[in-house]
Amino acid sequence: MAERHEIRLCGFGGQGVILAGHIIGQAAAIYEHKHATFIQDYGPEARGGSTRADVVVSDERVTYPYIETPTVLLAMSQPAYDKYHPQNHRDALVIIDAELVKPIVEAGKKVISVPARRIAEELGRTAVANSVMLGFFTAATGIVSPDAIKKAIAASVPKNTIELNLKAFDRGYAYGLEHSEAR
């Protein structure tokens, strides 16, 4: 049976949630030759409104791209977590930004956290918190390889920010290898 991963990324506008979802889909489809779909949803506000990116990664063709019960939820804001947390698959892995989201503790639910915003601040730019989260996600799940994500980051971010985004990815990946037990 083919593996199918349903990944929901959520936060507020300006955090790079949509870009992170695009990068996961691109890494899977272009650099690892898997099947992937990507759907984005955001409020009418350019910044500050809720945003969501849904990515399906599968070994087989994806015939239905919509997600109802994610197997992975990556939450970068409390309102987004509160909105999408109830829709998780029973065994879903929940990844949160430790400083921005306070999870609801439930028996049997796997919640892991990374201080993505703090790490991004240490690197000098909070805008790369999404790349920190991508690194942590990659280490924690193994759904896509670090090499594929790095190639997708380099192909997707502005040229003058590639080095910083890759450094942010590496920091998140290292943190994930050290602190996540999801794999």
Tell me the per-residue pLDDT of 73-99, one tens digit each, with 9 for 90 and over: 999 999 999 988 877 777 889 999 999
The whole-angstrom separation of Cα 30 and Cα 24 is: 10
Task: Identify the CATH number of the domain in which residue 9 sits.
Answer: 3.40.920.10
Number of domains comprising the chain: 1
Burial of 166-178, coded b for 16+ CB within 10 Å and e otherwise, reads bbbbebbbebbee
Q: Over 90: is that where the pLDDT of 69 sits? A: no
CB 12 within 8 A of CB 50: yes
Residue 87: predicted pLDDT: 76
What's the rounded Cα separation, in Å, for the pair 54 and 35? 14
Range of the domain at 167: 4-179
